Structure 1
């Protein structure tokens, strides 16, 4: 009998974004890096690979991030889009407490210490 367990996947733009998210996430989550752009071929592969997984899109709040987000909205309509505050512009430069708060809203387990930083 097949398991109904649904794996979580976060798609980010760059390797520095990936490192930032990895440092905040407490649970076992796959983080996929697009390196800023994604070909149609790779996007089609991802659609197949990520079928039946909980997919979260976390890209920069800039023009290239929005372009990438539009591609994912078209090709992966069930993906959940997470947004950082525009004042930070980039996932990599946003404070860890902000990233933790954004991820927590999507029920992704994060290290509590980053949430506590916000309160101090």
Structure 2
């Protein structure tokens, strides 16, 4: 079985998530919204139709736009939300990220729970 995939906006989001997860998860950075060609390449490269996919975007206009786009393109993907007070995944406390990931059955280091 292929590892789970978490789609995030930027590298700092990826780095923040990597601090807490303990299972083999592929984290993909979109660096903003995706064009059709770039999305199709990502879909094929990472076999997104055959994997458990999670979307963890910022609680801002760009994050909502990305979620909306990915909801259309990857209807099987599950969304992981951070508390709106934190606005950005990169600045969300590690224990908050850990709780959000555990709620989707993604393994995290228990020190953050």
**TM-score, normalised via structure 1 length:** 0.89
Query: Which consecutive residues of structure 1, in runs of 5 or more, have no partner in the other structure?
Result: 116-120
What is the correspondence of 1:33-112 to structure 2 with a 5 Å cutoff? 33-48=29-44, 49-112=47-110
Q: Say whether the 8 Å CA contact 1:47–1:76 is kept in structure 2.
A: no
Structure 1 runs (4+) greater than 2 angstroms displaced: 45-49
Q: Does 1 or 2 have the higher relative contact order (CA < 8 Å, sep 6+)? A: 2
RMSD: 0.9
**TM-score, normalised via structure 2 length:** 0.94
Query: What number of residue pairs does the alignment pair up?
Result: 111
Larger radius of gyration: 1
Paired with 1:68 and 1:107, the residues of 2 have a C-alpha distance of 23
Aligned-pair CA distance for 1:47:
2.8
